[in-house]
Amino acid sequence: LTRAIDYLQAHFTESLSLSEIAAAVGVHPDHLTRAFRKHYRMTIGDYIRQRRIEHACQLLKRSSASLAQIAQESGFADQSHFQKNFKAQMKITPAQFRATTGSKADSGTNTLL
């Protein structure tokens, strides 16, 4: 499981399959699924989404990049998918989060840090 977490941390912004993750850590996909869920009390997909949202929060705080750019940088398929997942986890929209965290959105910079 430690190898799985390390792999997910290094590759969470990529499109990952369960088979790919299991092969990277040297176990059967079914075994990885069961062990991961039992130990972390969430699915691998839930973990990846959570990690992507955490990454997006950091980008929203530090960057004035568009929501579409942040969605892409965080590993989401598109801005709509990003906003739906962000709101489900954070209970506010990405734009509301950015407004409440005092990001660099007003500074005129347009870079992902």
- Local confidence band at 109 (pLDDT 50, 70, 90 cut-offs): very low
Q: What is the pTM of this model?
A: 0.84
**Average of pLDDT values for 46-61?**
96
- CA 50 vs CA 24, 87, 90, 105, 106: distances in Å: 21, 12, 10, 23, 27
pLDDT digits (tens, 9 = 90+) for 70-100: 999 999 999 999 999 999 999 999 999 999 9
Instruction: Yes or no: say if 103 and 63 are a contact pair by the CB < 8 Å rule.
Output: yes
pLDDT at 77 (0 to 100): 92
- Local confidence band at 103 (pLDDT 50, 70, 90 cut-offs): low
**Average of pLDDT values for 50-67?**
95
**Average of pLDDT values for 28-36?**
97
> What is the average pLDDT value for the chain, to the nearest integer?
90
Q: What size, in residues, is the chain?
A: 113
**40 has pLDDT over 60:** yes
